[in-house]
A and B are shown apart, each in its own frame.
Chain A
Amino acid sequence: MGLQLEATSSHSGQQTLSLEALDALPQSAFVTTTIWTDGAVAFSGVSLKTLLDHFMAKGVEVELVALNDYAIKIPFEELEDDIPIIATRMGGEVMSVRDKGPFWLVYPYDSDPKYRSEVVYSRSIWQLSRVKVLD
């Protein structure tokens, strides 16, 4: 099961990225607690910005959609270089669908109070299946 990337301005149009394809991109990692897990957990993966930059996807907003069609939108200017990341691994292990996998958008909630807001919690989408860049 891969991650679908849709971007109208992107040169590659629509494509599905496998776990291997994501692993090939520059990796980001941090340790943090979450409200959904017990204790501090290490997350690693590709930062959303790195992913979009890699495919030269440009737009106003990026829409992310989960397997159960839960969807959220993040404005482009709110994307930081390394935050958030599309985590591919939790505690060094890949994640199954039964445990919020295979991809989970996470923020380093402990590093700053601003990451412990309603907006950030709602953006922390798990079982991520699709990333769509909106013009």
Chain B
Amino acid sequence: MERNSYRIAIVTAMGLLLLLLVLMVGSLVAQLRSLSSAQSDDMQWSIGQLDTEFANLSALLSRQLSDAALPEAQIALRADIALSRLNILNSGSTAELFRTSAEAQQYFPELATYADKVIAILDEPAGLTRSALTRLRDETEAIRPTIRQVTLLGVRIGAENSDLRRAEFSRQLARTGSAAVALIVVMGGLLIVLDRLLRRADERDAKLLASSRQLASTIGASLDAIVTADGEGKVTDFNDAAEKMFGWTRAEILGKPLDKTIIPHRMRTAHKLGMSRYMLNGQRKVVDGGRVEMVGLRKSGFEFPLELNINSVEIGGETRFVGYLRDISLRKYTEKQLIDARDRAEQMDKAKSKFLAIMSHEMRTPLNGILGILDLLKTTKIDDKQAHYVRVATASSEILLEQINEALDITRIESGAIPLVDQAFDAEDLIASLVDVLTPLAEEKDLDLAAHIADSATGEMIGDGGRIRQILTNLIGNAIKFTETGGITIYASTTEAKGWSQLSVSVSDTGPGIPPDERELVFEDFVTLSRAEDGRQVRGDGLGLSISRRIARQMQGDLVFEEAEGGGAKFTLTLPVRRGAGKVLPLAPDRGAMEEMDECHVLVVEDNSVNRRVLGDMLRGMDHIVHEAINGVDCLEKANGRKFNVIFMDISMPIMDGIEATRRLRNDGGLNSDTTIIGLTAHGREEYRLLAEDAGMNRFQTKPIRLEVLRKLLDGPDANSSETMREGIQEPAEKAPVNNTDALQELAAALGANQVQHTVSQFFDELEGLMLHLPTGNGSDLADHSHKMKGAASLLGFVRLERSLTELEVSARAGLHHDRDQLADGLRQVADQEKRAAKDHLTRLVQ
């Protein structure tokens, strides 16, 4: 706007200037013309000549009259010349000069009369006689004063005209001068305006320069690469950081298309498409789209990840793209390292969990033997001292088992693998059964165990009753353990909310309580508060509370501690449960297969020969007819041949596992499709429970299987079915008569000497097989074999052999080969000794 008005001012001033110039030039040209046309001077001269010419004529005529020396024609010529001068006055510029003068006009008739008279005289036929000459002279003399007057008048008018012209000239000069002055003023004004404009332009330039310098330095010093491109995708600017990033210099890359330089080959087509899409209809994906991660190409040909932000700018109708780029190789590298580290940690965690699971399984297998044998031991005749030893050994084994199970639980909870089951349960029944089971434990310490169930907490609820039982067992068990006098009170109630209920069960005791600073500590892993009395074996509670709280929280509930009245401990479990309707159904229906207890055919499906033998012996000891199968396929073949009353089915077996075998039995519609199947597993409590139920197993038992449990399993219809489907608490060891004979003797007493002899000889046969493979066998097979034999040796009481086999297993597992021969020799020696001793012993027993 401002610029336009200036432009108009300048153009107007220039126009004015031009107009003045034209006027001046015109005026000057006119002046010049007037100066150069010298007609007035010549006119003055002509008029002046008039007087001279007449003076000459008069003198000539007077001389001719006196001497008549000249010819007549000469006189006539002179007269004609004088007349021609008179004519001047009547024509041309001279006539013009005199036309305005009244004075001149009064002379002209006189002059005309004179001319007429002279012409008449000259033209007389007689020629120029003396009289004619005289008349001519007289006329000429007479007219001369008039001629003189006219001449003077002409000079005067000429002078006056000159004055007028001079005045006009000076006026014109003055006009030209003022025009020039005006011009100078206008030019001066114009100069001022121009100066101001120039100064403003300079200021603007300086500002622009400063800001562009600042921008240039900003761009130059930017840590991010800045690349600008025009609408055709050609580079128009490239800063220092970009040079470093891409390896191109600014001079090299300017004017080159992006898709021939810094865009990786594989993306060039996409780039072109995107650009044309943008230019055609302004459709934008990357442009003005915020931060994007892409890949750039260095001049060296290496690709690298970058973060990019592109803006578009319209400059004079042209589109410019400004890209801000950041090399994120390092970030990507760090990210990848973090991800790798996380993956590694997860892998380690998984490995840890797997290790724990395997370990617990590995520990359970020998425990199976120990507990089985201890149970068998109790059925023999032993004295009180031995009974005490057996009880202590059993209790210790049970604690060990419990700890293994807890460790396994922790692993499972951490990996989120605890499946929660929605089932109907009755809180009143559940607590009552717990009280029943735990009362003997409380009575040992003369403690009262009482439960109060609020009316609100009766009736069917939907939730994981098994898990609730597990938590409460732990809480009550702990309460009994830490309380010396008084009792334990269980209180259950519910509060109702819309659509669900909150079940709250508290277990309070009269024990010493927990100091305030340890109250949260008890919920952490592996914390045992030092309150166990001296010299007394206590149940490890390192993980119990921690597991209980985790389970409670997984069920959207919580487990909290508060101080009970009188200073004892009070743990409260709160859980959301849904209200069910109707009666609680037994978990597993009783198939009534156990009715014919007299002639009971039992099939034991188990791949581990020792465990198969132990279970078989236990069952035979209970007067059942035992059939054996070594895997699922074998089981199906045997089941095809006859109907069994009960099938004990190991879950994990080679060739075909127990789950698959059960499924097939249930579905083939054969002889055993209705047979009671009891699942057995050495794995954790939970892994296979759902699978087993789905496959159609009636019950589910975690190894080691105890004689007591076995008896219960086979005895009545399943009063304890839910108990047996998940391994429950361990009952206090039964007091049984014991004696102090060695392991073989005990076995023989329980199973019969012949049976034991058979087992022992089978053991040594297998050991022979192991030793045959020893020098050449594959490390891990050897280790597995040794492991299996070790368990059997332990069961049969071959302590030295067990030790040797352990050494062998460790050595084989570690891949050590050099001392195998030595180990083999040692094993052979020990085996021979043990075999001889066992033979002697058994011979004695048989006798």
Chain A interface residues (CB < 8 Å from chain B): 34-38, 67-68, 96-100, 113, 116-118, 121-122, 126-127
Q: In the A-B complex, list the 9 residue pairs whose CB atoms are closest, starting with the nearest.
A: A118-B38, A97-B80, A36-B92, A116-B37, A121-B42, A35-B93, A35-B39, A98-B83, A98-B80
| CB–CB B87/A113 < 8 A | no
In the complex, whether B845 has a CB less than 8 A from a CB of chain A is no
In the complex, whether B126 has a CB less than 8 A from a CB of chain A is no
Give every chain A residue within 8 A of B46 (Cβ-Cβ): 36
Chain B's nearest CB lies how many Å from the CB of A119? 8
Give every chain A residue within 8 A of B80 (Cβ-Cβ): 96-98
A-B contact list, 22 entries, CB within 8 Å? A34-B92, A35-B39, A35-B93, A36-B93, A36-B94, A38-B92, A38-B95, A68-B81, A97-B77, A97-B84, A98-B119, A99-B87, A113-B37, A116-B36, A116-B39, A117-B36, A117-B37, A118-B41, A118-B42, A121-B42, A126-B84, A127-B84
| CB–CB B38/A121 < 8 A | yes
In the complex, whether B43 has a CB less than 8 A from a CB of chain A is yes
Give every chain A residue within 8 A of B83 (Cβ-Cβ): 98
| CB–CB A35/B92 < 8 A | yes
In the complex, whether B243 has a CB less than 8 A from a CB of chain A is no
Give every chain A residue within 8 A of B81 (Cβ-Cβ): 67-68, 97, 127
Give every chain B residue within 8 A of A99 (Cβ-Cβ): 84, 87
In the complex, whether B303 has a CB less than 8 A from a CB of chain A is no
Chain B's nearest CB lies how many Å from the CB of A95? 10
The answer for the CA separation of A116 and B94 in the assembled complex, in Å, is: 16
| CB–CB B42/A100 < 8 A | no
- Could you give, for residues 346-378 of chain B, a 1 whenever the CB lies within 8 Å of some chain A CB and a 0 otherwise? 000000000000000000000000000000000
The answer for the CA separation of A113 and B91 in the assembled complex, in Å, is: 22
| CB–CB A98/B84 < 8 A | yes
The answer for the CA separation of A21 and B36 in the assembled complex, in Å, is: 37
In the complex, whether B88 has a CB less than 8 A from a CB of chain A is yes
Q: Looking across the interface, which residue of chain A has its beta carbon closest to that of B73?
A: A1
Q: Looking across the interface, which residue of chain B has its beta carbon closest to that of A115?
A: B37
The answer for the CA separation of A70 and B37 in the assembled complex, in Å, is: 22
In the complex, whether B563 has a CB less than 8 A from a CB of chain A is no
Give every chain B residue within 8 A of A126 (Cβ-Cβ): 84
In the complex, whether B3 has a CB less than 8 A from a CB of chain A is no
| CB–CB B43/A35 < 8 A | yes
| CB–CB B91/A37 < 8 A | yes
In the complex, whether B53 has a CB less than 8 A from a CB of chain A is yes
The answer for the CA separation of A67 and B56 in the assembled complex, in Å, is: 13
Most chain B CB within a 10 A radius of its CB, from A35, A37, A100, A116: A35
Give every chain B residue within 8 A of A67 (Cβ-Cβ): 77, 81
Give the contacting residue for B38; candidates A37, A97, A117; CB below 8 A: A117
Give every chain B residue within 8 A of A127 (Cβ-Cβ): 81, 84
Give every chain A residue within 8 A of B77 (Cβ-Cβ): 67, 97
Chain A's nearest CB lies how many Å from the CB of B475? 137
Q: Looking across the interface, which residue of chain A has its beta carbon closest to that of B37?
A: A116
Q: Given A37-B92, A97-B84, 4 other A-B contacts at CB below 8 A?
A: A99-B87, A117-B36, A121-B41, A127-B84
In the complex with contacts A67-B81, A68-B53, A121-B42, A36-B91 CB distance below 8 A: yes
Q: Looking across the interface, which residue of chain B has its beta carbon closest to that of A38?
A: B91
Chain B's nearest CB lies how many Å from the CB of A118? 3
In the complex with contacts A116-B36, A117-B36, A127-B81, A122-B92 CB distance below 8 A: no
- Could you give, for residues 25-63 of chain B, a 1 whenever the CB lies within 8 Å of some chain A CB and a 0 otherwise? 000000001001111011100100000010010000000
Q: Which residues 51-106 in B have Cβ within 8 Å of A in the complex?
A: 53, 56, 77, 80-81, 83-84, 87-88, 91-95
Chain B's nearest CB lies how many Å from the CB of A91? 13
Give every chain A residue within 8 A of B94 (Cβ-Cβ): 36
Give every chain A residue within 8 A of B119 (Cβ-Cβ): 98
Q: Looking across the interface, which residue of chain A has its beta carbon closest to that of B46?
A: A36
The answer for the CA separation of A49 and B81 in the assembled complex, in Å, is: 27
The answer for the CA separation of A99 and B86 in the assembled complex, in Å, is: 10
